[in-house]
Amino acid sequence: MHKLSLKSSVLIGACAISLLAMANSSFAQKDSVTLDYFSDIGFGEGVAVVQHPAGEYRNGKTYVSFQGPEEDPYVASYDHKSGEWKGPYRAGISELGKTAEALKNKPDSHGKPTMLIDKLGYIHIFYGGHGGWKNRGKNPLGDSHSGSNKHAVSLRPYDVSAWQDLDNISPNGTYNQVIMMDNGDIYLFYRHGAHRSNWVYQKSTDNGRTFEAPISFLKTRRRSDVAANDSWYAWAAPGKNGDIIISYDYHFCWDREAAPDERGHHGERHNVYYMVFNPEKNSWRNIKGQDVAIPVTRDVADEMTKIFESDELWSFNQSSALDAEGNPHIGIAMGPDSGVRHGGPKSMRHFRWTGSQWVGGHDAGMPDGRGDIQPVSADKVSFLISSRDKKGFGNVSWWDSVDGGENFKRGKTLFQKKGRNFSTSAFVKNAHPDARIIVAENAPRDSKFRNMYLIGDKGAVKRKVVIKPKSVN
């Protein structure tokens, strides 16, 4: 079996990586080869749902970001008309991925890039943080772990080839999520540190050139009943009429020595919560329209914003979006605690607001997988999920419901490979139907790098790679 080995060359000055000559002799007689992946340098997890969006479509091109060698962020673009790819180029240098541990192929992977294209066309990425290094000094809004959250912007509009860092966000951030409002204001959401940290947002009114100080909206706090802290995992997304919607779950952050079983501190997460932020009025409310004071503590979250209590189930928050009537639908992976560190397999679950109550949360037939949600109406909702089936195929498939989430059936499979797994991004912002999500295939045994795919309704977006560049006279 031939493993396709693209030799990537790093151009230090320009911070570029390009796909160049093919090393594999089986291609030596050809001028070019068409690949179904756009890059072979995905590293660690590559992409995940929470760092979102990781890509954006604008003016005929899809711009994508992912984590590459040494956990640095990489950005590429695809021209839907010409079929031409540019990049990926290294867009910044992450402080994660440079440690002895990371270099031993144990990546931290929490600083995967999040992308935004501003009103003027400059491309921004937020990357590299997992709470900030512990020796940096006290995190004012929580605890620390590793890395430095950073913000880089393209030197020129719509050009992925050259970048500069802007030192204007907190180094303690992780799980960046970014939203641009209709007026161009940018809201950057993230957790301000390691597990025991508040979730915050920072606002920019000048296309990301400066950001206001972080505002906390979810609060970490010491529990009074047991030796643990309140901790949160949030998803922020555009709502309607200038709202931003937030869905989240609760992490029971046990002290290492006080945890209820030998797993010690682990990934115990429960419940589903939902609230709405209106930036213009600077107000927060629950689904019933009642004001919610920030930063939201566990007491307030439980009383005002809780959708579902999942004592028996452990959760892994995914995403949320509004249907055409403006009612929220939420996707969250849930499953019984099977005793392993992170609790075991979790199937995708669906919740929606009917206008008067929350429904859903049952196992409606969706797989153990990760993905993003696309609600259409009260009845019609779909997920695009990356998962592995019983026959050993890794699939990127639609899962559709036409009865309001009571039942989901597997719909069209956009991409499939036997013996493979895929980690997936959230939807590309404003996605072209041919380029809906970015996925990272698991690395083959003899490599630490992963093939990266851009997937849409026609499967993977192809990339033609020239093997022997034509001589130039």
Where do contacts with Zn ion occur on this chain (CB under 5 A)?
195, 253
When the beta carbons of 7 and 341 are compared against Zn ion, the nearer one is 341
What is the CA 276 to chain-centroid distance, rounded?
20
Which has the closest alpha carbon to 333: 350, 354, 321, 358?
Answer: 350
Q: Which residues contact 372 (CB under 8 A, 6 or more apart)?
A: 49, 318, 319, 331, 383, 384, 424, 425, 426, 427, 437
CB of 174 to Zn ion, least distance (A): 13
* In the complex, least distance from residue 170 CB atom to Zn ion, rounded to whole angstroms: 20
- DSSP H or E stretch at residue 300: helix 298-300
- Under a CB-based contact definition with an 8 Å cutoff, are residues 90 and 10 in contact? yes
Of 74, 89, 127, 175, the active-site residue reads: 175
Compare residues 253 and 296 and give the one whose CB is closer to Zn ion: 253
Q: Given the complex with Zn ion, which of 191 and 195 has the nearer CB atom?
A: 195
Place of tokens 């992912």: 66
Find out whether 306 and 292 touch, Cβ atoms under 8 Å: no
Catalytic-role residue among 52, 110, 195, 350: 110
- How far apart are CB 164 and Zn ion at their closest, in Å? 35
> Whose Cβ is closer to Zn ion: residue 192's or residue 350's?
192
* In contact, 57 and 435? CB cutoff 8 Å: yes
Are the CB atoms for 15 and 90 separated by under 8 Å? yes
Element (H, E) at 41: strand 39-43
For this structure, is 110 an active site residue? Answer: yes
Residue at 268: amino acid letter: E
Least Å distance between CB 224 and Zn ion? 17
Q: Count other Cβ atoms within 10 Å, centred on residue 335.
A: 20
| CA separation for the pair 266, 285 (Å, rounded) | 31
Cβ atoms of 427 and 436 within 8 Å: the answer is: yes
Least Cβ distance, residue 108 to Zn ion (angstroms): 15
Cα separation, 366 vs 125, whole angstroms: 32
The least CB distance from residue 343 to Zn ion, in Å, is: 13
Are 136 and 146 within 8 A, CB to CB?
Answer: no
C-beta closer to Zn ion: residue 159 or 255 = 255
- Beta carbon nearer to Zn ion, 314 or 398: 314
Q: Please give the backbone phi and psi of residue 312, each rounded to the nearest 5 degrees, phi first.
A: -80, -15
Query: In this complex, which beta carbon is closest to Zn ion, that of residue 270 or of residue 380?
Result: 270
Instruction: Give me the least distance between CB of 110 and Zn ion, in Å please.
Output: 13
Respond yes or no: is residue 80 known to be catalytic.
Answer: no
d(C-alpha 53, C-alpha 186), whole Å: 13
- What are 365's two structure tokens? 């037939």
CB of 203 to Zn ion, least distance (A): 28
Cα angle at 381 between 242 and 114, to 5 degrees?
A: 50
Which H or E run contains 102? Answer: helix 100-103
Give the full edge-to-edge strand order of the sheet including 409-418: 369-375, 381-388, 393-401, 409-418
The residue (of 63 and 254) whose beta carbon lies closer to Zn ion is 254
Kindly list the catalytic residues. 110, 175
